[in-house]
């Protein structure tokens, strides 16, 4: 086992076969999602956590999906 960056815990060593299986699993998963990279002013992550109790990722996902649903409902009413 290897030490992590802090040197206080051990991480398991993986075989090359296990590493390849993990890479394949991650690649398959990445085919099922869209990845978006956003930049916010410093302190935004902490504000989100403080105000909502949610992780930054969870808050952003929930907010974006809610807004998209709202927009779709509004467009459906117009048609």
In 3D space, the residue among 74, 77, 52 whose CA is nearest the CA of residue 63 turns out to be 52
Of 23, 16, 22, 9, residue with least CA distance to 1: 9
**Alpha-carbon distance 44 to 56, whole Å?**
8
pLDDT of residue 4: 62
pLDDT tens per residue across span 24-72 = 999 999 999 999 999 999 999 999 999 999 999 999 999 999 999 999 9
pLDDT recorded at residue 47: 97
Q: Among 1-5, 19-23, 33-37, which is the least confidently predicted range?
A: 1-5
Does residue 76 register a pLDDT over 70?
A: yes
pTM, entire model: 0.67
Tokens 């996902």 belong to 61
CA–CA separation, 27 and 23 (whole Å): 6
């Amino acid at each position: 086992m290897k030490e992590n960056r802090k040197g206080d815990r051990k991480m398991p060593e993986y075989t090359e076969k296990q590493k390849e299986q993990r890479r394949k699993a991650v690649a398959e998963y990445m085919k099922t999602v869209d990845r978006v990279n956003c930049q916010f002013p410093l302190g935004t992550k902490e504000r989100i956590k403080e105000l909502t109790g949610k992780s930054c990722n969870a808050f952003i996902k929930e907010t974006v999906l809610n807004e998209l649903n709202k927009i779709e409902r509004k467009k459906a009413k117009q048609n």
